[in-house]
């Protein structure tokens, strides 16, 4: 069932969080929906502009709609991740999204407000929520790469005005996480002082954490053991940090890197162990199962397991 994330946020605030999963392939979609239905857990399925361009937006939406039919108890929202105006307006016009992100975080404050507000006006007319961003995350997402020097934390003093002026529905913040597999190369982790300050200024307003992958060390080791050359200093967000962040109003946690790492691990191991094979459906099946297992664990960690039956839908 497709549900507005507003219903999720109202219910989960301060208690648990909704995983927002970036999808690129059908194996990920199947694994995610199977896990969502099995765990009775709400989730957000989201796509970046690059994911849309990889095949086509209609292909991704088609897979999501098919999965919804196959797993009718799966309860989810569809979100556009990191859009600009063209992507956001296109998503709104498609009538298939519950929520869009306008990422104008690289612009100065006033410009960010102006660009976000324009998307909010159009989105709200069509019953679509808007996620905006304040502060700049470092790391690599899609074709955008931000070095650590250009990254900056969200200024808590700006959040109140930003939310008031734009009327956005949720706010992505930069509090120490980054995109990609190398989240804490500076070593500092999530800045809870900043997060707490933000929460105090906008109580009960849903906060979004980008770059929420765990970047499991065991996955990196298995990838490298099978011919990969990933930097072993790759580091993600720890489970403790995630559960702590939920208490500060983080309602949505974006996860993309982890499913990419699992993809690399499953396929590298499979072809290393079975060099004579070439059939995509054998490792594909393993990848679906690995995505499902990963999601079941993630729902558990975020406290989302079993929550669908408590939602007011
Ligand atoms: Zn992001």
pLDDT digits (tens, 9 = 90+) for 252-265: 999 999 999 999 99
Q: How many angstroms is it from 168 CA to the middle of ligand 1? A: 17
* pLDDT of 186: 53
Cα–Cα distance measured from residue 118 to residue 113, given in angstroms and rounded to the nearest whole number: 9
Q: Which residue has the higher pLDDT, 64 or 189?
A: 64
Q: What are phi and psi of 17, to 5 degrees?
A: -135, 155
In this structure, which residues have their CB less than 5 angstroms from ion ligand 1?
Answer: 210
Mind listing the pLDDT tens digit for each residue in 10-23?
A: 999 999 999 999 99
Q: Distance, CA 269 to ligand 1 centroid (Å)?
A: 29
**Residue 244 scores a pLDDT above 80:** yes
pLDDT at 151: 74
Could you report the per-residue pLDDT of 145-193, keeping only the tens digit for each? 676 666 789 999 999 999 999 999 999 999 988 888 776 655 578 999 9
DSSP characters for the chain?
-B--HHHHHHHHTTT--EEEEE--SHHHHHHHHHHHHHHT--EEEEE-HHHHHHS-HHHHHHHHHHHHHHSTT--EEEEEEEE-HHHHHHHHHHT--SEEEE--TTS-HHHHHHHHHHHHHHHHHTT-EEEEEESB--EEETTEEE-TTT-B---HHHHHHHHHHH--SEEEE-SS--BSSBTTTTS----HHHHHHHHHHSTT--EEESS-----HHHHHHHHHTT----TT-B---HHHHHHHHHTTEEEEEE-HHHHHHHHHHHHHHHHH-TT---THHHHHHHHHHHHHHHHHHHHHHT-TT-GGGS--
Catalytic positions are 81
Rounded CA-CA distance 26/35 in Å is: 14
Distance (angstroms) between ligand 1 centre and the Cα of 302 equals 18
**pTM given for the model:** 0.95
- In the reported structure, the alpha carbon of residue 282 is separated from the centroid of ligand 1 by a whole-number distance in angstroms of 31
**pLDDT tens for residues 97-135?**
999 999 999 999 999 999 999 999 999 999 999 999 999
Distance (angstroms) between ligand 1 centre and the Cα of 141 equals 7
Give me the pLDDT at residue 149, please: 61
Q: How far is the CA of 293 from the centre of ligand 1 (A)?
A: 23
Q: What is the pLDDT of residues 261-293, one digit of tens each?
A: 999 999 999 999 999 999 999 999 999 999 999
What sign has the CA pseudo-torsion 48, 53, 57, 63? negative
pLDDT band at 235 (very low <50, low <70, confident <90, very high): confident
Give the per-residue pLDDT at 234: 80
* pLDDT value at residue 187: 58
Ligand 1 centroid–CA 65 distance in Å is 24
Q: What percent of the chain has pLDDT over 90?
A: 88
276 alpha carbon – ligand 1 mean position (Å): 39
Work out the mean pLDDT of the chain and round it to a whole number: 94
Q: What would the mean pLDDT of 221-245 be, rounded to a whole number?
A: 93
pLDDT tens string 34-56: 999 999 999 999 999 999 999 99
pLDDT at 292: 98
Distance 271 CA to ligand 1 centre (A): 31
- Cα torsion through 220, 246, 35, 287, rounded to 10: -10
């Amino acid at each position: 069932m497709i549900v507005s994330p507003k219903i999720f946020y109202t219910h989960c605030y301060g208690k648990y969080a909704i995983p927002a999963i970036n999808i690129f392939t059908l194996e990920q979609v199947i694994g995610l929906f199977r896990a969502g239905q099995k765990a009775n857990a709400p989730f957000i399925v989201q796509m970046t502009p690059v994911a849309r361009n990889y095949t086509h937006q209609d292909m991704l939406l088609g897979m999501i709609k098919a999965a919804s039919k196959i797993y009718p108890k799966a309860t989810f929202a569809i979100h556009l991740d990191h859009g600009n105006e063209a992507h956001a307006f296109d998503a709104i016009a498609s009538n298939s999204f519950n929520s869009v992100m306008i990422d104008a975080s690289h612009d100065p404050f006033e410009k960010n407000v102006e660009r976000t507000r324009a998307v909010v006006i159009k989105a709200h007319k069509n019953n679509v929520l808007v996620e905006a961003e304040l502060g700049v995350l470092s790391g690599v997402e899609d074709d955008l790469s931000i070095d650590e020097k250009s990254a900056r934390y969200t200024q808590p003093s700006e959040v109140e005005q930003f939310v008031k002026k734009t009327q956005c529905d949720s706010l992505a913040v930069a509090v120490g996480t980054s995109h990609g597999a190398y989240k804490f190369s500076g070593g500092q982790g999530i800045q809870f002082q900043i997060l707490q300050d933000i929460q105090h200024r906008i109580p009960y307003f849903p906060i979004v954490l980008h770059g929420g992958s765990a970047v499991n060390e065991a996955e990196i080791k298995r990838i490298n053991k099978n011919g990969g050359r990933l930097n072993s200093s790759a580091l993600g967000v720890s489970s403790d940090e995630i559960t702590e962040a939920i208490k500060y109003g983080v309602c949505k946690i974006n996860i993309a890197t982890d499913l990419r790492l699992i993809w690399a691990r499953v396929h590298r191991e499979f072809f290393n162990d079975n060099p004579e094979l070439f059939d995509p459906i054998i490792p594909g099946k393993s990848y679906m199962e690995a995505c499902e297992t990963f999601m079941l664990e993630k729902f558990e960690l975020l406290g989302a397991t079993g929550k669908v039956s408590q939602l007011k839908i």
